């Protein structure tokens, strides 16, 4: 189901719904070379930049702005008024309006693997650093 005033760019694919309809609401803009999978629902006045991929049964809220080359897991919801910067990998639902980003600049694979492993431990490392700083402050 495609609403009024919808723009769909060249080479964009919108899959027909399998269980429920795929729904593109009024005023949505979808750029070139995007993939919208089965049963996806996109809310009013949302804009999606080129090369974005949305997996099945994703629900995107109203007035969202999605940068180019983003990737979305299926079977989850993105609330209204969300901005997602380009190259983001959205793996979990977004329940609060705001701006979200992910992705890191290109690196040689060996460096990237180390960076990715460290990023997953940043919170733990931050807590340990704060505790060490606190202990040093006590010694002064």
Could you list the active site residues?
Answer: 38
Give the Cα separation of 85 and 102 in Å (integer): 8
Q: 67 in helix, strand or coil? A: coil
The candidate with the shortest Cα–Cα distance to 39, out of 54, 58, 26, is 58
Q: Is the dihedral of CA 50, 86, 105, 76 positive or negative?
A: negative
Residue 47: CA atoms inside 13 Å, Cβ hemisphere, count? 7
């Amino acid at each position: 189901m495609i609403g009024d005033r919808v723009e769909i760019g060249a080479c964009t694919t919108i899959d027909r719904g399998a269980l429920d309809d795929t729904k593109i609401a009024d005023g949505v803009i979808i750029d070139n070379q995007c993939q919208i999978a089965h049963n996806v629902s996109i809310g009013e006045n949302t804009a999606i930049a080129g090369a974005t991929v949305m997996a099945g049964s994703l629900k995107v809220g109203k007035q969202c702005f999605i940068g180019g080359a983003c990737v979305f897991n299926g079977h989850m919801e993105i609330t209204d008024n969300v901005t997602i910067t380009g190259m983001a990998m959205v793996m979990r639902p977004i329940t609060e309006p705001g701006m979200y980003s992910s992705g890191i600049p290109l690196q040689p694979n060996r460096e990237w693997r180390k960076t990715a492993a460290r990023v997953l431990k940043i919170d733990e490392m931050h807590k340990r650093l704060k505790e060490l700083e606190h202990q040093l402050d006590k010694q002064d």
